Amino acid sequence: MGIGYKTSWLAVRDAAPEEVADALGLRHRQVMDWEGGTDAAYRQGVFVARPVSDWTFAHGRIHLPPGTDATEPGFPDWLHSLSTQLGDIQFFATDRIGEYHAWAKVESGDLTRAYCYIGERGQVPLHIGEPSDIELELGVGQRWLEDGWRDWQEPEWDAWFAAMPGEFDVVRIARSWGFCPLDIPDSDVNASGIHGFPAGIEPRQEP
């Protein structure tokens, strides 16, 4: 199947898959090819691979990051902790069902940008840093519930929802920042990767 939408991924420049797997604390490791590993990570666990020369990619629909997501207070600390081991990192997540869309990057140890919108709650629980050029171009990542939102009327709410991101925006931001795994044809990836489970998460039996 390979990588598609409705998932989360990390992009790490110039790090070996083993380094990323170690930083994520992956256990129960198995070597898998690109299609098998990305498919497995849609169901459980995390798959780490280097599909192109400059970037290592970690993908997991459920278990990346472990025990939290970009809507929760511990998410920035998780990113900072990873960056101390891996250097500059980028995170992306998108799921059209709950309208959960997020992106973040740590540069030189600083969380320079992080934004998350979750449509099923009508909330922007995370907004750190200034919007990047691609966000300004797309018209997303620039709004959250400002003071006085309880008094908004229909035109204000229409304008707010119109400025919220969708899954295609997440992909375009990832592409602009340097690497989008959806652009990699499955047939072009020959290198194997590592599938495993973060601490506290045990593999479940699959039919």
CA pair distance 122, 125, nearest whole angstrom:
10
Mean pLDDT of 56-61: 94
Q: Has residue 172 got a pLDDT over 90?
A: yes
What is the percent of the chain with per-residue pLDDT over 70, rounded to a whole number?
Answer: 96
pTM of this prediction? 0.92
Strand partners, 94: 7, 101
Q: Which helix (H) or strand (E) holds 159?
A: helix 154-162
Contact call for residues 186 and 2 (beta carbons, < 8 A)? yes
Assess contact for 96 and 6: CB atoms under 8 A.
yes
- pLDDT band for position 187 (cuts 50, 70, 90): confident
Q: Is the pLDDT of residue 1 over 60?
A: no
Phi, psi of 178 (to 5 degrees): 140, -30
Omega prior to 65 cis, within 30 of 0: yes
Determine the pLDDT at residue 74: 92
**Strand boundaries in the chain, DSSP class E:** 7-13, 27-32, 46-49, 55-59, 89-95, 100-107, 110-118, 123-128, 193-197
> Tell me: the pLDDT tens digits for 125-166?
899 999 999 999 999 998 776 655 677 788 877 887 888 999
Report whether 1 contacts 189 (CB < 8 A).
no
Parse the chain into domains and list their residue ranges.
7-194
pLDDT band of residue 69 (cuts 50, 70, 90) is confident
Rounded average pLDDT over 85-114:
94
Of the two residues 10 and 98, the one the predictor is more confident about is: 10
Q: Which of 74, 79, 66, 85 is nearest to 23 (CA)?
A: 85
User: Mean pLDDT across the stretch 64-79?
Assistant: 89
